[in-house]
Amino acid sequence: MSSKTATLTGLAAFDRTTSIWGPVTLGLGFLVSLAAALFTAFGTGLGITGHEVWTAFAIVFATFGIIAVVEPIAYYPILGRSAMYQAFMIGNIANKLLPAALIAQTDLGEKPGTRRAELIAGAAIIGAATVHIVTLIVFVGFLGTWLLGLLPEGLIAVARLYILSAVFGAVTIQAIVSMKNARTTIIAAVVAAIVVYGVIRIAPALTNYATAISVIAVIIVAWFARKRTATDATEAPASIGH
């Protein structure tokens, strides 16, 4: 068996395993999380009613339901299927796992969207999760209170104010460097600016949907503004004929 054949066989086995255990582990994680929430609501004597639970669910779904659809679409081209299962099982995707995957892919010279990039993303997510767990145990579990007591209050206040912006800014720059697509980058920046400084100010009720609107709009505009290739030119007449 040649090296290429062995690689393809291994990837096929990897895909089969992923397609089985990915949904299983996510499903089990969902059931455990749901069971804990239901026990807290109905098994601890807090007096929470079913009507209150469904009301809270409706509010959360109205706010974050669209994000649950947009995030998988937005992350999939970078992470790939197997890494997506890992990322959504662990959480903190945008501010921890996605940056780790992008940095690893860039350092290894692999453009997102390939099978090698998917495997690199999976390995990076494992590394990020491991570091996160270790630092949580050491710096939060054992040293958290002591370390916070040593930091000036002003420093903590500044960190809370700017840390999220710094993380998302780094993720954005890393994505731009990794994708190396100036046209799409410009389209994304222009569309996001129009949504944030135009659409949202005109219609404040759409504030919670700004991310979803921006992502969908960028995908549509980038598709129509993409650089046409010879394949596009040859496929167009065929599709018209059908």
% of the chain residues with pLDDT over 70? 91
Contacts of 178 by beta carbon, 8 Å cutoff, 6+ apart: 78, 102, 105, 106, 111, 112
Read off the pLDDT band of 238 (50, 70, 90).
very low
| pLDDT tens digits, one per residue of 44-71 | 877 888 888 888 888 777 767 777 887 8
Supply the pLDDT for residue 63: 66
- How far apart CA 114 and CA 209 sit, in angstroms, is 30
pLDDT attached to residue 130: 92
Would you state the structure tokens that stand for residue 73, as one six-digit string?
């679409």
What pLDDT, on the 0 to 100 scale, is given for residue 48? 82
Q: Distance (Å, rounded) from C-alpha 25 to C-alpha 30?
A: 9
> Which pLDDT does position 120 carry in this prediction?
92
pLDDT at residue 239 above 60? Answer: no
Contacting residues for 101 by C-beta, under 8 A, at least 6 apart: 78, 79, 83, 120, 121, 124, 125
Output the pLDDT for position 1. 56
Give the confidence band of 2 by pLDDT, cuts at 50, 70, 90. Answer: low
d(CA 51, CA 57): 10
Residues 64-93 pLDDT 10s: 777 788 788 888 888 888 899 999 988 888
What is the average pLDDT value for the chain, to the nearest integer?
81
Share of the chain above pLDDT 90, in %: 10
Query: What residues does each domain of the chain span?
Result: 14-46, 65-180, 181-229
Contacts of 156 (CB under 8 A, 6+ apart): 148
pLDDT reported for residue 212: 77
pLDDT tens per residue across span 174-233: 777 766 778 888 888 899 899 989 998 998 888 877 877 888 888 888 888 877 665 555
Highest mean pLDDT among 22-31, 138-147, 204-213, 224-233: 22-31
pLDDT value at residue 55: 84
Quick one: pLDDT band at residue 125, thresholds 50, 70, 90?
A: very high
241 pLDDT band (50/70/90 cuts)?
A: very low
Within 91-199, where are the H helices? 98-107, 115-135, 144-150, 153-179, 182-194
